Amino acid sequence: RKEVEQDPGPFNVPEGATVAFNCTYSNSASQSFFWYRQDCRKEPKLLMSVYSSGNEDGRFTAQLNRASQYISLLIRDSKLSDSATYLCVVNTGSARQLTFGSGTQLTVLP
Amino acid sequence: DADVTQTPRNRITKTGKRIMLECSQTKGHDRMYWYRQDPGLGLRLIYYSFDVKDINKGEISDGYSVSRQAQAKFSLSLESAIPNQTALYFCATSGSRNQETQYFGPGTRLLVL
């Protein structure tokens, strides 16, 4: 089983739609959680951290369920510029390394 | 100017050749990382360094070596390249205070024939 698993995707949605991505992680000792965004042929960039109480940044909402070892990202009112691959990232281990999911591709259509 | 730079950006080489990928950063971060990205597999950690005298193996270090020449420079070597090392390679940095936010370089596309 992969340490971090994401929805396989790809997701193709119209502008203005709401889309949700899910992610599960296998290491119950994981301490920190993130969503990174990666544009085509570009480097990953931090989108947002995920806190236990849930957090929101504009149109983006991240949720964490430690009991189920589940993380989600909700994007409301999708824009064309949201088209990218979204990487679920978990901090695990004593060395606090980041483990990346394989990503979910989102295409927002006009 | 970019905070994390990688050279070369693209490289084609032949099996058995020695290749070095270089990474430089101007962020003043102590921690540096090398990842490779393959389709469907996400990013996998090759090596990481928490300071100039500290080098650690990551998930997939076999076939690779690294050198931390200075706080700002971290290079990755493939001593004898093989075709399954064809991938997109990223360098990343993080600060010791906010170690979990990593800043990535633009990547190096390597093709081993």
- For the residues of A41-79, what is the DSSP string, one character each? TS-EEEEEEE-TT-EEETTEEEEEETTTTEEEEEE-S--
Residues 6+ apart with CB under 8 A from A53: none
According to the model, what pLDDT value does residue B56 have?
A: 93
For residues B39-43, give the mean pLDDT.
Answer: 83
pLDDT tier at A28 (50, 70, 90 boundaries)?
Answer: confident
Could you say which of B44, B99, B105 has the minimum Cβ distance to residue A43?
Answer: B105
Residues 6+ apart with CB under 8 A from A58: none
Closest CA of chain B from A88, distance in Å: 10
**pLDDT: is B26 or B41 the higher one?**
B26
pLDDT tier at A50 (50, 70, 90 boundaries)?
Answer: very high
According to the model, what pLDDT value does residue B61 have?
A: 95
Give the pLDDT confidence of B82-96 residue by residue, as tens digits.
Answer: 999 999 999 999 987
Taking the Cβ of residue A47 and every Cβ of chain B, the question of whether any pair is shorter than 8 Å is answered with no
pLDDT tier at A69 (50, 70, 90 boundaries)?
Answer: very high
| B56 vs A contacts (CB less than 8 Å) | 95
For residues B5-21, give the mean pLDDT.
Answer: 97
Q: Quick check: B42 and A4 CB within 8 A?
A: yes
Q: Classify the C-alpha dihedral B87-B93-B99-B101 as positive or negative.
A: negative
Q: Which of A55-59, A65-69, A81-85, B99-103 has the lowest mean pLDDT?
A: B99-103
According to the model, what pLDDT value does residue A87 have?
A: 95
Distance CA A17, CA A77 (A): 5
Closest CA of chain B from A45, distance in Å: 7
Distance CA B112, CA A81 (A): 34
Taking the Cβ of residue A94 and every Cβ of chain B, the question of whether any pair is shorter than 8 Å is answered with no
Residue with tokens 């493939």: B78
Distance CA B48, CA A62 (A): 28
According to the model, what pLDDT value does residue A94 have?
A: 56
Residue A92 confidence (pLDDT) above 90: no
